[in-house]
Amino acid sequence: MQRIYLDANATTPVLPEVVDAMRPFLTEAFGNPSSAHLPGQHARSAVEHARGAVAKLLHATPKEIVFTSGGTESDNLALTGILQPYLDSGEPAHLITTQIEHHAVLYAAEALEKRNIEVTYLAPDANGLIDPAAFEAALCPHTRLVSIMLANNETGVIQPIGKLARIAKAHNPALVFHTDAVQAAAKLPLDLSGEFKNVDLLSLSGHKMYAPQGTGVLFVRKGIQLTPLFHGGPHERQRRAGTENVPGIVALGRAAELAATWLNSATLGVPDVPLLGHGNVALQSPEALEDLRDRLEQGLLTAIPHTTVNAANAPRVPNTTSLRFDGIDAEALLIALDMQGIAAGFGAACMSGATEPSHVLLAMGLTAAEARASLRLSLSRFTTANEIDRALEIIPAAVARLRSLS
C-alpha cells in the first residue's frame, strides 16, 4: 500500500538536504560547542552559522535567536520568562491570550493564572479570527504581555498579528508582544523588521519546517529581559542553559535556508524538482501548495454532501484545510483512512488521545457534535497531484461507508 501523508501540521518530513547537513554532527563532528579546542570550535561555528540562517529567515539579528528544544519550550519561556519578575515582586500583571492557542500557551497561561497572574482569553469570531477592537478593549494599564498565535494549527487561520502588535504598542510601548509562529514558519514570510516589527518574542519549532523533532527557536528582540526557565551554564547568552543540540540546530539552520529559498521561489520561477530519497516531486512555491490544497478541498466539497470548510472565509496558511463531515465521527474516519493508507489529523497531534472535542472549533461556535465531525488535512511540500487524486477517491468512499453505518 502506498501511503499518503496529509498530517504535515503534526510533523513534516525531514528534507534530504537537512539530513545531509546534520549527519556529520552525529558522527565525526561531535565536539561540545562550549569547548575551547578545535572540535569544540568547529561545533560552535556550526551553531552560529545556523543561528545566522534562522535570523536571516526572520529578518532579525543572530543575537536575538535563542535555540530551544521546540515550540512548547519556546512558548513557556516566553510567557514565564516575561511574567516571572512580576510574580517575584507581587506587582499586578495582566496577560492577554486567546481561546484558540496551542496548549503550550493555554496551559502555561493557566499555570500562571493559578499563581495570581490575571489572564484574559479572547474569543474568536466564527471564522477563527480575533477582532482587533475586542483586543484593544481588553488592554488595561497593567497588561504586561500579549501572546497570540500567528497561524492556527487546526484551521490554518492567520491572525492579523502586525495590526494587533501595533495596537498593543500604541497602548503601552513597554508591553511585550509574543506570537507562536510554529505553524507559520516556512509557510509564510516572517519579517520582524517590517510587518512584525512590533513583535518582541516569536516561537518556532523545527519539526514543523522540515527539520527534526526536538529543535526550536525563541526570537527575543534586543532589549527584552527574559528570566530563564533553566538554571545551569551561560548558554544562549544566559537565556537557555544546557549544552546545545548541535545536530538539531544545524538541521534547523539548513531548514531555515531552504525555507527562505522556497518562500521566494514564486518570484524566482524555480520549477518543481525531484527530492532524493522520497520519490516525490517537491512543490517549489507556496502558490503551488495552495493550489493543491484547494484542489483537495473543492474536490471533497463536490463529492461529499453536507460538508463544510471550517474558517473558509478567513486567510489561511497554504497547506491546511479543516473539513466538517456532518454525521461522522472524525476519530472513526481517521482510523478508517489510516487503514486505507491516508494519514490525517483532527486536532493538535499532542492531544490526539483526548476524548474532548477541539477547543479551537468550540471557541469558534461549533457544537460538540460538529467539532467531533471535523477532520484536518495538511499537505507538505512532498504532496503530489496523484496523491490528491487518490485521496479524492478514498475519502468520499470512507465517509459514505461511515454514514451508512450510523
Helices (H) and strands (E) in the chain, counts: 14, 14
**Catalytic residue selected from 111, 350, 354, 368:** 350
Return the SS3 of 180: strand
Q: Note whether 100 and 359 are within 8 A (CB).
A: yes
Query: What's the Cα-to-Cα distance from 278 to each of 17, 161, 207, 383, rounded to whole Å?
Result: 12, 35, 17, 10
DSSP structural state of residue 214? T
Q: What distance lies between CA 189 and its chain's CA centroid?
A: 13
CA-based nearest residue to 309, from 184, 155, 183: 155
Say whether 350 is catalytic: yes
Residues paired with residue 118 on neighbouring β-strands, in sequence order: 94
> 268: burial class by Cβ within 10 Å (0-12, 13-18, 19+)?
exposed
Q: Note whether 345 and 352 are within 8 A (CB).
A: yes
> 357: burial class by Cβ within 10 Å (0-12, 13-18, 19+)?
buried
Q: Note whether 156 and 322 are within 8 A (CB).
A: yes
Q: Which helix (H) or strand (E) holds 158?
A: none
Longest dimension (CA), the chain: 68
DSSP structural state of residue 145? E
Just list the catalytic residues: 350
